[in-house]
Amino acid sequence: MFALRLKLLALELKSDCELIDCLSFARNEFLTAIETVCVKIIEPESYLNDLDSEAGDSNCGSTISNGVKAILKCVRKGALQPHSFPLAHIVEVVGGTSGVIYSLLLNEASFLVSSDCESIIS
């Protein structure tokens, strides 16, 4: 029944933003999961910086942490809405080579989700 409801929502709504905004039945669980993941990603910041010092500029952990902190700030403010928080903002906060790589990854993921939403839901 739950899967059928999601499929109907995917077919009725025009964009993935609208679909996500309609997840009122699991919004709290979704936001809790996002917050938990963000906190866990921030924890190894200095370790990742240390690893990066061997071959890079020692900022890999910091750049990842900056992007995740931007997401976490929006979650905690209740402002994590696809239409009001563009992923481009996260990429700008991350910056550097990592920002470009994440930008490419997120753009492709966004395209795949929006073009094949029904198969992702089922």
Could you list the beta-strand ranges (E) of the chain.
none
**How does the average pLDDT of the chain come out, rounded?**
70
Least confident piece of the model among 32-46, 49-63, 89-103, 108-122: 108-122
40 contacts: CB under 8 Å, gap ≥ 6: none
How many CB atoms sit inside 10 A of residue 7's CB? Answer: 14
Q: Is the separation of the CB atoms in 34 and 26 below 8 Å?
A: no
Q: How confident is the model at residue 17 (pLDDT cuts 50, 70, 90)?
A: very low
Model confidence at 8: pLDDT above 70: no
The C-alpha atoms of residue 89 and residue 34 are separated, in whole angstroms, by: 17
- Span 60-70, average pLDDT: 87
User: Structure pTM?
Assistant: 0.59
- Span 47-57, average pLDDT: 91
